[in-house]
Each structure stands twice: as structure tokens, then as C-alpha cells.
Amino acid sequence: MPWPKPFTLRKRVFALMKSMHIAASRELVSRLSTHRRVVALDSTDFTDVAAVVITVADSRSGILALLKRTGFNLPVYLFSEADHEKPQGVTAIVSGKEQEWLELEAAACGYEENLLPPFFDTLTQYVEMDNSTFACPGHQHGAFFKKHPAGRQFFDFFGENVFRADMCNADVKLGDLLIHEGSAKHAQKVRGESVQRR
């Protein structure tokens, strides 16, 4: 089930989050038309993919049950140039037409859009907007640490994103954690609902 989102910057570029791959049956890897990296089914744990394309033979091999067990709810496409009945767990059947590759890309984009939990999603968008605050030592994107050799090692160890995302807990654009509003409140609500479902 996708996460509902109150903070909307829909046409965002995933600058901080790399574009996820497409996993495909080994014989389909070179046949897919996509700007994304295509990886073979046996070389992924499915945490780095946004969609899966399988052959008819693979659909009978247990891969659909494996994908279901992951709980990732990945869009799964069956590649078949002949008419074929759509198995349970398959999103659609594709035969290699350009429009079908566009639909695959749309499904992969949709998966990425709905992947992140509410607060983390808002935080990534906030950091992408290049916001900066001077309330905490990690701010200024870690620039201060880079002025000393030990600080540079510290910065390189953690990477720039940890410093860019080190925001004040009372920043209203992120949703104030102390007065429970905005994205922080929404994240708490979603978490509460998921706990109740257990």
C-alpha cells in the first residue's frame, strides 16, 4: 500500500535518491528499452529495483511467489510475443512495443514516488530544495568540517547528505516535531495506523 503524502512536489528529480533499476530475466536484459540500468533477476535482492520483467518460463519457475514474499509490491511485467493469459501477481503483459515500455517506466516511477515513508519523503524533498539552517552544528552542508584534515575525514566518512539533512526539529517546512504538525504529524498518524493493523 503506498504512503499517502501531504507535502507535494510531484515532478521532482530524484537527486538524492538514485533512480532504481529494472530487474529482468537474463535473456531479456538486452531487449528492454529503458534509460534505467537493467539487472538480471539472479543479481538483485529486489531492494534496488522499481519494476520486474520476466519471461513466461520464469513465471512458472517460482519467481512470482518469491516476489510476493518480499512484500515490496513491485510492478511485474510478463514479456511474451504470443498471446498469453496473465498470471496472478503480474501487472501486465508486454510484447516489446514502445508504448508498453513507456507504461513500464510509468509504473517504475510510480513505485519510486510511493516508496518513502512520509517524513523521510518530505526530508528528501526539503534537502533537494537546498534549504539551509544555522541552528545546529551539522548545517552549512558540513562545510565547516572540510576546513580541517580530521573534519574532512569525518565529512567524507558520513557524506554530504547527513549534514544537509541535519535539520532543526522545529522547522515548520518539515513539520514541527514538538507541536506535531505537518509531515511529522502525518508520519506519526501513518505509523499509528500501521501499528493498529498488526
Domains with residue ranges and CATH for the chain: 21-113 (3.40.50.220), 118-197 (no CATH)
Position 190 pLDDT exceeds 70: yes
**What is the phi/psi pair of residue 95, to 5°?**
-120, 5
Q: How high is the pLDDT of residue 126?
A: 83
Cα angle 84, 52, 48; round to 5: 175
Q: Which residue has the higher pLDDT, 188 or 10?
A: 188
- Note the pLDDT tens digit of each residue in 108-153: 999 998 888 888 888 888 888 877 666 665 567 788 888 889 999 9
Rounded Cα distance, 105 and 35, in Å: 9
The yes-or-no verdict on residue 9 having pLDDT over 50 is no
- Asked if residue 178 has pLDDT above 90, the reply is no
Cα distance between residue 41 and residue 52, in whole Å: 8
What pLDDT does 61 receive? 94
Tell me which residue of 40, 48, 42, 45 sits closest to 24, measured CA to CA. 40
Residue 11, pLDDT > 60, answer no
Query: What is the separation of C-alpha 88 from the centre of its chain, rounded to a whole number of angstroms?
Result: 24
Specify whether the CB–CB gap between 74 and 111 falls below 8 A: yes
As a whole-number percent, the residues of the chain with pLDDT over 70 amount to 84
More confident residue, 171 or 145: 145
